[in-house]
Structure 1
C-alpha cells in the first residue's frame, strides 16, 4: 500500500466561502383542496372532537411527504377549531355556575369563592393545546412515528394517510385515513366483467384511503344479483388471514375455506400484502384507481422466485445482521430476542443495527455482513422497492425461519408471511417448524443438542461448494459447575485482541467474526490511516502543543472570519 508524505487535508481553506452558484428551481406546491374538501379529506371535525374527548394537550400531526403541502392549512383549522371549542366550553361552564348560584341563594362571599374555584378548574382543564407537525418520519410513513412524537413530548399522534395499522407501543393514535374519491360506475362495470357468475365467492377489499367505498360497492353489487360477496371491515390485526381486515365466517371455522374466495381489491396493494394473500385465496383482481382501465392481475411468481433465491445463501452464511427498521411496533423487542436466539442456536454470529431509513449505501458500509434480516412493520418488510441492488440478501424473519430449517424439512410451498407478530405467536418457531407446530424438529434445528462433536457439513446451495465456517460460533458450551470456584474469571474488556496470524480475533474471550474480517479482509481503515504521525517535541522530550487561535464562525454556506 502506498504511503503519503503528508496527512490528508480534512478542512476547507478559509478563503473558500461556500456559495451556491445555481439558482433554486424547486417550486413549492400549493394546496389545491377547497375549504370543504380539506375538512372532509382530513376529517377536521372528528379530529377536534377526539382530541377534546381525550383531553390531550400536546398533539403531534404526522403527514406523509405527499400531504405536507396541506399540513399548514390542517394545522390552522385544528388550532382555530380547538380554540372555539375551549371558548364555548368556558361559556357553558360559566353559565351553569351562575344559574346554580342564583338558584341556591348563597351569600355573595361564598358565590365569589365558588366562582373563583370554578374558574381555576376551568383554566386548568381548558389550557391551550400545542400542535406540532412531524415533517420527516424516522422510518416508513405507514408507521406511527412515536420516536419523533416523544421528542416533542406529545400526548397523542394524529396519523394521516394510509397506515399499516401495526399496534403501537407507547402513545395513543388518532387515525385519519384521508378518504379518496372513486369512480363507482367504473368499479361496478369492472367487477361485472371480471366475475360474470353471480354465485362467485368474492371478498371486497380496498386500500385504506378507499375502504369507505367498500360498503357502497357491496350494496350496489347486491342489487345486481350477486349473492356470495363479503365486504371486509378494517381491524387492527396484521396477523389476520386477511391482514387488518375481517374474514368470512366460514374462514373463522377453517382457514382453508378462505381459498374458496377471490379478492377484488380497490387500488394497488403493497407488495407484502400481495405476497401474503397469494397462497391464502383463490385469486386476486386489482381495480386501478389511477387509470381509465383496470389493472391486469399482478403475478407474484417471479417475485416469489427472487425471494426463494435469496434464501439459498443463508444456511452457509456465517454472519447475519439483524436490521431494526421500526421502533414503534409493539413486539419488535420480542422479535429481536427471538432472532438472536434462533441464530445462536444455529451457530451463526448476529450483529444488531439501527440505521434509520434504510438505503443501499447505508448497508454497503457493513461488508462483514453476509445477509440481513429485517425487523419492520409488515408493509415495510420488503426492501426491494428502495432502488438499487443490495450487496447482501435482505430477508424477513419468516424467510429466515424457512432458510434455517434442516435439509430434510426445508420445503416452501409458496406461502409467505409478512408480519413477524404472527410468527412469535407460533409455538413451533423455537424448533424451526413455523407452519407445523406438531412437526418433529429437524436435525439442523437441534444440532446443538447432538452430543457428537462432528458437525453436519454445509454446502452453498447456489454453487454446490462446501462451506467450512458456516457456524463460526460453534455449539453452545455448558458451564462445568466444578470449575466455577477454581479461578476468578478475567474482568470484561471491550478491547480488540489481535493475535498472531492463523489465530482468530476475540473480544472478551468470544470469537468475533466482525473483528476477524476487519483484520484480514478490510483494505481501507479510514482517512489518514496510512500516514505515520510524528509529534514535535521540546528539549525535554515533551510534545509541543499548537498555539490556540480563534476559529471561524457561522454556517457552512458562508463562514464569518
Structure 2
C-alpha cells in the first residue's frame, strides 16, 4: 500500500466497513425467546388499546435474522388494514436508544423496541419495550451463591437481574436468595428498571454491601457497577454458562485512563460536543451547560451531530482537541483508544470544567447526564469566579485558565509553557491545525470581487426534450 493510500484510509471508511462492523452482540437468542405468545399478546393489546396505525419495530443487529418473521406475524395478528408495520434496523446512534429519527421518516405513531434498552425517556413517540426471555437454572444459581454466604451475613445484599431474566423477578426468588445468603437485608432489583419503578426504586443505603449481577459481563454491568456507590465486591453470575466470578470495576485500567482524559479535556482549546441522542430528555440543557462552562474557561466549543461515531468521521475535525459524547447512559463510557483525539463523557467534562469538582473524588461514576442538571442528585453549581488563576496542566505543564487568557491577550505565547521536564527541556503543547493553518479552506467565494450574473430563463421539461427546444 502506498503512502497516499495509507493516508486516505486513515480518514475514511473502506467500502466494506459497514459489512465488517462488529455488531452489538450479546448472548445468542432464538426466535421463541424474543417472540413468543407472551410477546405477541402484549404487542397486540398495546397497539389496539391505543389505536396505533403505523408501528415501527426496532431491532438490534443480532435480532435482524428474525425481524421479517416477527413483522409478518404481527401483521397477520392485526391484519394489514388495521395497522402498517415497519422494520428499523440500522439505528442512528445505538440499538439501545429508541430511534425516533428513523421512525419519523415513515411518519410512525409508535415504536416497539426489542432487546437491549437504556430506557432513556423518549420525547416524541410512545414506546413498548420487549425483552428476550432467557432460561435460568435457579437451583444452580442458589448453589453457586452458597460460596458468598459468609461475606453476605450481616450485610446488605443487592441482586440485580439483567435484561432477559426479568420474568423471574418475584417474591419467591427473593425468599430463596434470602435463605441462601442469610443477609441483613436483601434487595432484588431489575436493571434497567422498568419506567414505572425507576423513580420509586429504593436506593441502597449500606456502603458495605454485596452486589450480585445476574447476567453477562456486558455494557449494562459496566454502567451499573460504576454508577452504584462503593461496595465490598461485585459478583457476576452468568446465566448462560452457570459461572460465578468477581470484579472490582473501579480498579480497572479503563478508569485510570479516563482520569487522564479528564486532564486532556482541561487542556483543550476547542471542545467538540457530539450529540449522540435526539430523544433523551434534557440533552439540550446539557449542551447549554457545557457551553457555558467552557466559555467560562475561555474554551471554544463546536456542536457536532454525525450519527454513530467512528474514527474516520471524527478525524475530519482537526481543530478539536477533545470530544464530549452526549449520549444515553449505556453509550457514554466510551473507549477512545482508536480515535485520534480523546472522547470523554458528560460527567468527565463536568469534572474537568466545573471548579466545584476540584480535588473532589466521586464515590461513583455518573453515566446519566440528567443527574448533573440542577434537579439531579450529582448537581454542583458552576461559578466561573472559582476557576483558579494559577492552573498548570498535569499533562503538558502549560498554564491555562485566567492566566492563559491574560498572556494570550498580551501576546506572550512563549510564557504559556513554563514547566520543564526532568532533562530541562521546554514542554510544548500541540494545539492542532486551526482553520487558518489549513492548506485548503474550500472554494473561494470572492464576495464583492465579481460582477453579478444576469438572470436568464431556466430549462424546463425532461432532459431528452426541453419544452423550448
Within-5 A mapping of 1:111-510: 127-196=81-150, 197-215=152-170, 217-224=173-180, 226=182, 228-233=185-190, 235-236=193-194, 246-247=201-202, 251=204, 257-267=205-215, 268-270=217-219, 271-277=222-228, 279-301=229-251, 302-384=253-335, 388-406=337-355, 409-424=358-373, 425-426=375-376, 429=379, 431-432=381-382, 443-445=385-387, 456-466=389-399
Paired residue secondary structure (1:232): strand
- Deviation string, structure 1 residues 205-240 (Cα, Å, up to 9, x no partner): 0212222234353232245473522111463569x9
Q: Is the 8 A contact 1:347 1:474 kept in 2?
A: no
Provide the C-alpha distance between the structure 2 equivalents of 1:225 and 1:272, rounded to a whole number of angstroms.
Answer: 25
Please state if 1:77 is matched with 2:34.
no
Q: Structure 1 residue 428: deviation in Å? A: 8.4
Deviation at 1:458, TM superposition (A): 3.8
Q: Could you tell me the TM-score, scaled by structure 1's length?
A: 0.62
State the distance in 2 between where 1:263 and 1:245 align.
20
Secondary structure of 2:129's counterpart equals: strand
CA shift, 1:524, in A, is 5.2
Aligned equivalents of 1:363, 1:473: Cα separation in 2 = 31
Is 1:42–1:74's contact at 8 Å kept on the other side of the alignment? no
Secondary structure of residue in 2 paired with 1:195: helix
**Structure 1 residue 245: deviation in Å?**
8.3
**Following the alignment from structure 2 to structure 1, what is the Cα–Cα distance between the partners of residues 66 and 122?**
25
Cα distance change on mapping 1:293 and 1:325 into 2, 3 Å: same
Contact 2:109–2:125 (8 Å) recurs in 1: yes
Cα deviation code 1:326-361 (max 9, x no counterpart): 111121111111111121122211100001001122
2:207 partner SS: helix
Offset of residue 33 of structure 1: 4.3
Question: What is the alpha-carbon distance in structure 2 between the residues aligned to residue 207 and residue 308 of structure 1?
Answer: 28
In 2, are the aligned partners of 1:143 and 1:164 still within 8 Å (CA)? yes
Higher deviation after alignment, 52-61 or 180-189 = 180-189
Post-superposition offset of 1:49: 1.0
RMSD (CA atoms): 3.7
CA contact (8 A) 1:161 1:178 kept: yes
The superposition leaves residues 516-545 of structure 1 with CA deviations (integer Å, 9 ceiling, x where unpaired) of 81212x34557x99xxxxxxxxxxxxxxxx
Structure 1: distance between partners of 2:86 and 2:136: 31
Compared CA separation, residues 515 and 181, structure 1 to 2 (3 A):
closer
Asked whether the equivalents of residues 318 and 469 of structure 1 are also in contact (C-alpha less than 8 Å), the reply is no
Structure with more relative contact order (C-alpha pairs < 8 Å, separation 6 or more): 1
Q: TM-score, normalised by structure 2?
A: 0.74
User: Residue 205 of structure 1 contacts residue 264 of structure 1 at CA under 8 Å; is this kept in 2?
Assistant: yes
Q: Give the aligned length.
A: 393
1:68 equivalent in structure 2: 64
Report what 2:452 is aligned to: none
Larger radius of gyration: 1
Q: How far does residue 464 in structure 1 lie from its aligned partner after superposition?
A: 2.1
What is the distance in 2 between the residues matched to 1:194 and 1:346? 49
Find the counterpart in structure 1 of residue 436 from structure 2. 519
The unaligned stretches of length 5 or more in structure 2 are 1-14, 21-27, 409-430, 445-461, 464-469
3-state SS of paired residue (2:128): strand
